[in-house]
Structure 1
């Protein structure tokens, strides 16, 4: 299965998420407004933002399947990242609105506790989203799709949010009515936190940021390739769900062009086999006499 077929598979998870969020948001908002639960209303608005976020992931996945063209020689894989960035702004706006509404609710009369039905709605929704999370997580791991894995993590956070809403509702039934708006505040904070995490990861990828520890891991794999004497430079960046690597390796200056090319091929094979990275640009340079002498002296130096 090539990367375009894998992206196509990822659409299934996004579609399932959208369907679940449409049903659950409608159910939560109807029950929340009908039975006076601020926490469940906030959770319903949270799912509305999730519809937008999952739709953005789906659109990004479909655009990223377009093959390279004259304007996009590397393909359209970053469409996933741009869609996620747009979704983060929408989620942040709704999160702030939920916080404002919950804050006002704290100062209102709480003599009437929400109906216990709303707690069962929240717990049922949590179980549903837990199931969607398990499905999307397995699918994302199987096809190695970062966008779908992010959606799966959002599914898990939604399950936890619904559990928190249920706790607030049950607490209000036990004579602590202020727990319901407090739970709504917690939901608003989780929405904003999720929006920030998506915004940060998206902007980090779009500005060619890359995790330093992961880069060191990739460096170690290349250094252990037979024939590689040193790594003069290595860079990596995220392109949608793909990783692009540019590396300059130093080799024995006595090697032939054919032998140097063999080392490049071996690096590419190892990166694909160990890290599922298919795009590696290797530049081979002969070590200078001084570099060769320095490395020889280092290798023979007593510990």
Structure 2
């Protein structure tokens, strides 16, 4: 097995290993480098470890085939994992912001050392590489959980960048800016987390995916031999896959068997065109030109 292969599970496993190492590094850098911003960032890494574990479990469950208890598969496990990561990010943002405000009010400032600077800079580079790798894997697998994990890495880039700025400015004589940087970190993480939370709640509630998916289904159906008209298309997300319902219209003089053959062939074509289409239910209706004209 190649751990560097661009798959959802590989990127999640590798991210987990990196986050464990970064957490330890940030704790050491924050304690011995006297940086509150870096210690706050370490808490973020600790939650990343929990999030990575949940994502890994979620994508493994989502891959299970449909069964009697879950006739549409287990795809929503992926979305639930994404919701968990989003919630962790919300908690992280609030905690970091609260801690920073507490330090500012108490005026309990410290001047970070050079070790804190080096750790923050190293974290930025590592996390940006992880973001680029994970977002590609998430989009390739169409996995909400892995995509959420990628944005978690990007939030870490923001967090460590804010920490680095605060550390450097504190070192040149403005220690109050270290907790101010911590507050800014919390705000950025919270803002991104709320957007992620909204998107994944949308999908968990059966929300429609990218409109381009519906358009592709429509174009494929209209181009299919025997389809006269497409009356209705409904598409919903099921984790990394889609489930669609179509109402197509065929020549009213065709037999039921002929109409069924058209629907079966169209279903096969759609699943070839859209590899993430888990299932599609096609309802066949007779096409009446005069009736359709009146309805328009």
Interval containing the TM-score (normalised by the shorter chain): 0.7 to 0.9
Residues 4-44 of structure 1 deviation map (CA, whole Å, 9 limit, x = unaligned): xxxx9422111111111111112112211332212111211
Task: Determine the structure 2 residue equivalent to 1:165.
Answer: 163
Is the alpha carbon distance of 1:111 and 1:125 closer, same or farther for their aligned partners in structure 2, counting shifts above 3 Å?
A: closer
Task: Determine the structure 2 residue equivalent to 1:190.
Answer: 188
1:31 to 21, 29, 32: 29
Query: What's the TM-score once normalised by structure 2's chain length?
Result: 0.86
- 1:264, 1:282 within 8 Å by CA — same for their partners in 2? yes
- 1:222, 1:228 within 8 Å by CA — same for their partners in 2? no
- 2:245, 2:280 within 8 Å by CA — same for their partners in 1? yes
Is 1:255 aligned to residue 262 of structure 2? no
Alignment length (residue pairs): 289
- 2:222, 2:229 within 8 Å by CA — same for their partners in 1? no
Residues 31-80 of structure 1 deviation map (CA, whole Å, 9 limit, x = unaligned): 11332212111211111121121111111112223332221111222112
Matches within 5 A, 1:1-303: 9-109=7-107, 112-211=110-209, 213-214=211-212, 216-218=214-216, 220-222=218-220, 224-226=222-224, 227-257=226-256, 259-276=258-275, 277-291=277-291
Gaps in structure 1 of 5+ consecutive residues: 1-7, 299-303
Let me know the Cα RMSD of the aligned residues.
Answer: 2.6
Is the alpha carbon distance of 1:215 and 1:66 closer, same or farther for their aligned partners in structure 2, counting shifts above 3 Å?
A: closer
Gaps in structure 2 of 5+ consecutive residues: 1-5
Cα distance between partner residues in 1 of 2:90 and 2:212 = 29
- Partner SS state of residue 284, structure 1: strand
- Partner SS state of residue 176, structure 1: coil
Is the alpha carbon distance of 1:191 and 1:286 closer, same or farther for their aligned partners in structure 2, counting shifts above 3 Å?
A: same
- 2:250, 2:259 within 8 Å by CA — same for their partners in 1? yes
How big is the shift at 1:246? 0.5
Task: Determine the structure 1 residue equivalent to 2:3.
Answer: none
Query: What's the TM-score once normalised by structure 1's chain length?
Result: 0.84
Cα distance between partner residues in 2 of 1:87 and 1:144 = 16
- Partner SS state of residue 107, structure 1: helix
Residues 204-243 of structure 1 deviation map (CA, whole Å, 9 limit, x = unaligned): 1221111473465245424532333322222111111111
Greater CA drift, 229-238 or 285-294: 285-294
Cα distance between partner residues in 2 of 1:274 and 1:161 = 40
Is the alpha carbon distance of 1:86 and 1:148 closer, same or farther for their aligned partners in structure 2, counting shifts above 3 Å?
A: closer
Cα distance between partner residues in 1 of 2:162 and 2:127 = 14
Is the alpha carbon distance of 1:207 and 1:34 closer, same or farther for their aligned partners in structure 2, counting shifts above 3 Å?
A: same
- Partner SS state of residue 280, structure 2: strand
